[in-house]
Structure 1
Amino acid sequence: MTPMTSGMSFHDLHHQSAPLLLPNAWDVPSALAFAHAGFAAVGTTSFGVACAAGRPDGVRASAEPNLRLAAGMARLECHVTMDIEDGYADDPEQVADYAARLPVAGVNIEDSTAERLIPARAHAAKVAAVKRRCPGLFVNARVDTYWLKEDATAEATLARAAAYVAAGADGVFVPGVTDSELMRILAAEITVPLNVLAVPGMPLAELGALGVRRVSTGSLAYRAAMHAATEAAVAMRDGGPVPAATPYDELQARLTGFVG
């Protein structure tokens, strides 16, 4: 049984006994690898998508690559959600126009531009515009208070989250939070599923017990892949042990079957 035939919608995946672990891809082969590993949903990482295009993250450089990636991922037998930075525009209707072009189950939209928080009302307007245009799209509203260390208090974070939920957000993502008691407070006060980044040393079961409903790998897999690629090249140069790698024939067959 494939994830898409399991009968669970993307919304349903946020309301299970255990949190949804969402791996974040940066191209079609990485998304295929995650789907092949049995994940019911795959997200994207704007950092990985932008870096793969030779651009830094957070400067709206992933807009066009994301459109191509979304089209390429549309045939995956799992749910897909896209990280679209700040929506690539200040105007809410332009953000909604962009989201409507994506053949995906969800989007993640952050409340900062150029590494600075924007007013909560401005981000709420983006969320509301996307939900008006695409009512069935799972909108995960990202609160960057702790990520940017700006207004990094529970009170400020909860106020922003409440504004986005009132605007129609289906989930709230608070990256940068690692304290278990703070997670418990956020999960108890936010009325939609809470999403956090994976925290080393905190298993899914522990995060679930705190009330977290979705855990993203963020850019971790992309950064790990870059590290492993460098290690492989260095090992061949220096005569060290070569890291494990998926066989060429397996990757080729997987991609051939996908596009064929």
Structure 2
Amino acid sequence: MPKVMLISGCPRSGTTGFRTTLTQDTRLAIGLERYLRLSINKKLTPDLWERERFIDVQPNDTHVQPNHRSWGIANRAIDRVRDNYDTLDYIGDKLPRSANSFEVLAETLPDIKIIYLLRNPFDVAASYNKRARNENDKRWRPVTDYSVAVKQWNFDIRQAVNFLDQLDFHIVRYETIFQNFEEFENVYAFLGLEMNDGARSGWQDAHERSLSLEAQRSALTDEEKVHLCAYCNFANYRKLLKHGGFL
């Protein structure tokens, strides 16, 4: 059986882009929120990573079902598991909000590798605002703005800090992972894998995308910045930066 990994982090912290990068490595099969609903409900169990279970998408597993617009992307990971399970090094999932399940994972799957995307709260909050204020974005509720971002960001990083000693975390800094190739190499060292052409190609593509995304960032108002400064738990943020070797 392949080893198990998760790409975790607060929503709007780059988990989707990071997953896209890693999927160019055929040794890895990473779902697209394959078990999001189970994760939120603290029902991540070891059997979910067996071949027959992973390819059997059940209604209560995820919102990414065959009629979802991202199904084509999600199904590639399922096909990879179906066709190459015995030769995979890792099977896993991209699960923002998986912090809900850290306690369950520590009890049932303590050897899981967790790549945790850490992004500063100001850019997370601005990204929440951007989606909340986009009238054409029907998948995001208008009330889920910067004020909700603070609460979810605080919860997520608190959970990560609480389980640093019980689960195997590798902290990835969103702001630099696609600018500094050495940081990406460290991810592979954490997984115990040698870099290959797929991994290098994935990073290069992500590096080029990140340059264009930089110009699209939204700004917070002064009032919103004050709110974040007042309510964000920067002590936990520093603990995660320190765990990742950034301080």
Choose between structure 1 and 2 for higher RCO, CA contacts under 8 A separated by at least 6 residues. 2
Larger radius of gyration: 1
The two structures have a TM-score, normalised by structure 2, of 0.33
